[in-house]
Structure 1
């Protein structure tokens, strides 16, 4: 592994200038995050209402027969999928009787890693020691070596072959044709083995100049899989095979489309296996809850970062004496954490009242009752025996 170490220094004045820029970014975060948190609560309510609306309107139908009376309605069906043709990756003459076929591509490239350590010096300056490490690795994304700190000797060629998704044109679920929107949601991938007798066809289809050889998982583009060089490729294929599938969507002819709810969201859901409509809506509600909490957490973290950036100049001032700067940063962190919780929690509470007024009043009433019971119990005098 190649290594390159660089030591940089920033004066106290330079750090102060950086912290002032950071303060402006922090102000933007503090202003923007409450709007994001408020939006998230609205999104969660809209999705919940849409799911409730869909659960009340959905009709379970027989997958084997298309009933024209259900045209435009939200339907649920489950059964076995089938394909009448093959899906193909013509670039390598790979075919499969599957719902989806995906080409996975990795190229052998240089990869840069960095490790940094920073210390604050007396007087407020800062010294950073950064070590850049270079190693050869397989990557499914193109790594731009022009961005390396030391590109000489670590140059990557352009990645000319990329991953690609192919879907069956004639896939069915009983009497219904599976639309592209439905197929794009399927992701129960299985590896596809490449038979040895296909190697000749693959060499004819491949337009590049690299030698092709079979591997246990797929093919190798390069001279030797055991001794890879920069620019070699490993390519494998995975498929979504026909099997049991459940769908909730709007019936359009003998196919599916997104069902637009009055609440605001469009509904088009799939699930591997035979699932009831109730099971699919329950899973969707769980996903909505999880996403809501994840976005709440992201919003609170960004608020914390914003408050820390706003207080950055004060910490830099204190770093004239590094020990004092550490104490200031500790206090700043506690204040930023508290401020993020207050502003973020307050925003969520206001959004709850705006989007769920009846539920909010019910929760507050319940809390008031509990507090009242505790007060009442505390004032009762114990009986004298």
Structure 2
């Protein structure tokens, strides 16, 4: 009877020992599995590209490249003097305004002054004359102005109108039929120049004449800065 009890106790101990071994092996397997999963996640994260920040701009979108280009200009919408209704098939339309006015000529301080009439750009302030009475100049109704075409292109590039300021301009005589009806009632055309309040042969104080010049949409050579599809002045 004593031998049988001893054998029974030994079998129980063996069972407990085996169970402990199995638990230990399970813990080791779980730890190794967790390490492998973390390593795989780290590898995937390292390989994925970082999302671009919204504040990052593509360098080519804002890059300024100095260029010198030549070719023929083209325009989408002709420049137009909306005040007087004159348009031209050109890149730039220039309006030059003069008025027949009094001018004061004084030799020395305290001496007498002479007064003469002539064409003059801008306003001659007759209130500053020594003898303003009888030599009054009315206000100039129009001012010089510069009108650019709606879109000026050199090839595929949109040209900044400021780049054409140094280009040679040429006279643009206005034809009688170019005036809209309301302006035709005020202005008359003599040799391509507009006159109001008188004419070229018999101007009076306050007579206004308006001439036009244009920068044609022809062959040019421009040096500037290219930004995307735009050509700007330096």
Deviations 1:127-165 (A, max 9, x none): x65231101111011000000000011011111211111
Task: State the TM-score, normalized to the length of structure 2.
Answer: 0.68
* Residue matched to 1:110: 102
State the secondary structure of the residue aligned to 2:130. Answer: coil
* Residue matched to 1:164: 145
* Residue matched to 2:182: 204
* Residue matched to 1:248: 223
Equivalent residue in structure 2 for 1:135, among 109, 116, 130: 116
In structure 2, do the counterparts of structure 1 residues 225 and 74 end up closer, same or farther at CA, with 3 Å as the change threshold? closer
| The structure with more helix, counted as a fraction of residues | 1
2:54 corresponds to 1:74: no
Aligned length: 175
| Structure 1 residues 363-378: aligned runs within 5 Å | none
* Residue matched to 2:169: 189
Q: Is the 8 A contact 2:148 2:161 kept in 1?
A: yes
**Aligned-pair RMSD on alpha carbons?**
2.2
| CA distance, structure 2, for counterparts of residue 142 and residue 212 of structure 1 | 20
Q: Is the 8 A contact 2:75 2:151 kept in 1?
A: yes
Structure 2 unaligned blocks of 5 or more: 1-59
Task: State the TM-score, normalized to the length of structure 1.
Answer: 0.43
Q: Is the 8 A contact 1:70 1:251 kept in 2?
A: no
| CA distance, structure 2, for counterparts of residue 89 and residue 176 of structure 1 | 25
In structure 2, do the counterparts of structure 1 residues 245 and 70 end up closer, same or farther at CA, with 3 Å as the change threshold? farther
| The structure with more strand, counted as a fraction of residues | 2
* Residue matched to 1:5: none
Deviations 1:178-200 (A, max 9, x none): 113323x234111111122223x
Report the alpha carbon displacement of residue 90 of structure 1 after superposing the two structures with TM: 1.3
State the secondary structure of the residue aligned to 1:197. Answer: helix
State the secondary structure of the residue aligned to 1:153. Answer: coil
Structure 1 unaligned blocks of 5 or more: 1-67, 117-127, 259-267, 269-385
2:92 corresponds to 1:100: yes
Equivalent residue in structure 1 for 2:203, among 228, 247, 253: 228
* Residue matched to 1:65: none
* Residue matched to 2:193: 218
| CA distance, structure 1, for counterparts of residue 148 and residue 122 of structure 2 | 22
